[in-house]
């Protein structure tokens, strides 16, 4: 289990860094956030354990506080 948690932590850092690198105008709409989260969830599917919250919902939870809405 610790290995899985480490993978998820690394994926979180990677995804948030990618998000922060996007131009501000690409981080301002729910559609853009949703599209980015879907893509990131697909690219990092092996970093997430199955739980009530899927990888998409988890990533949305990481990104929404950082969104410029």
Give the pLDDT score at 51. Answer: 67
Residue-level pLDDT, tens digit, the chain, 69 residues: 668 789 899 999 999 999 999 998 888 899 999 999 999 999 998 888 776 788 999 999 999 998 876
Give the pLDDT score at 30. Answer: 94
Q: DSSP state, 46?
A: G
- How far apart CA 41 and CA 47 sit, in angstroms, is 9
8 Å CB contact between 22 and 35: no
8 Å CB contact between 33 and 27: yes
Give the pLDDT score at 1. Answer: 60
pTM score of the predicted model: 0.86
φ/ψ (deg, to 5) at 41: -65, -40
């Amino acid at each position: 289990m610790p290995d899985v948690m480490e993978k998820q932590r690394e994926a979180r850092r990677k995804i948030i860094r990618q998000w922060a690198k996007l131009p501000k105008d690409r981080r301002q709409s729910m559609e853009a956030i949703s599209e980015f989260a879907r893509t990131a969830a697909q690219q990092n599917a092996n970093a997430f354990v199955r739980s009530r919250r899927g990888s998409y919902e988890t990533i949305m939870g990481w990104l929404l506080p950082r969104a410029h809405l």
